[in-house]
Amino acid sequence: MTSTCLLLLRSLTRRQPRLSNPTRLFTTTPHRRLPSTTLPVTITATGTGTLQHISIPGKPYTFTSDTYPLLGGSDSAPSPVVYSLAALSACTQVTGHVVARDRGIKLGEWDVHVEGRLPTGTLVKGEEGDPNWEQVIMKIRVQTDVGNDEFGQFVYEVERRCPITALFRKSGMWYESVWVNERVEGL
């Protein structure tokens, strides 16, 4: 039996003013071995023009990136900005799986919609400004076996633990997420 309990949870991060002359910090700390609890991630890429072929050493899969004609590409593959939104969607779902496993929550289907507004003045025309996303809104509907209170705690934990969500939130752009709990009995 499926009963839809709509719980809209919003997570907002407002754009922070940027410094006109930001100071970049460097460290003189010697390289240290990473703790064994880190996940090493490496990619390699080759390409010409705007087309790039990306592979992951030791893995059988590869992917390709191109860009929009506005930027000189042929739109033959997803652009890096599309991949950034896809990474947000996928990482949220993976983190949700991890959090649900930790909390004994059963999950069903996910339906995720991510929309972003990217200014082009700096990227395309070289204007002064911030090439970062102006706004990203992610809408998530997920089937669970929990009520709204536990779902709210689940959402908080997913957004706290997701590394790609952290990249977006801490970048200073407007980030918003809207979560809907579709409770399914006997999931």
- What ranges do the domains of the chain cover? 9-16+79-183
pLDDT for the residue 12? 59
Inter-residue contact 69 to 79 (CB < 8 Å):
no
pLDDT for the residue 185? 87
pLDDT for the residue 6? 54
CATH number for domain 9-16+79-183, candidates 3.30.300.20, 3.40.250.10, 3.30.70.260, 3.40.50.300: 3.30.300.20
**pTM of the full structure:** 0.83
For residue 83, what are the CA distances in angstroms to 17, 42, 59, 79, 100? 26, 16, 19, 6, 25
Query: What is the Cα–Cα distance from 23 to 28, expressed in whole angstroms?
Result: 16
- For the chain (187 residues), the mean pLDDT of every run of 10, in chain order, is 53 51 49 71 96 96 96 96 98 98 98 96 93 96 97 97 96 95 91
pLDDT for the residue 20? 46
pLDDT for the residue 34? 58
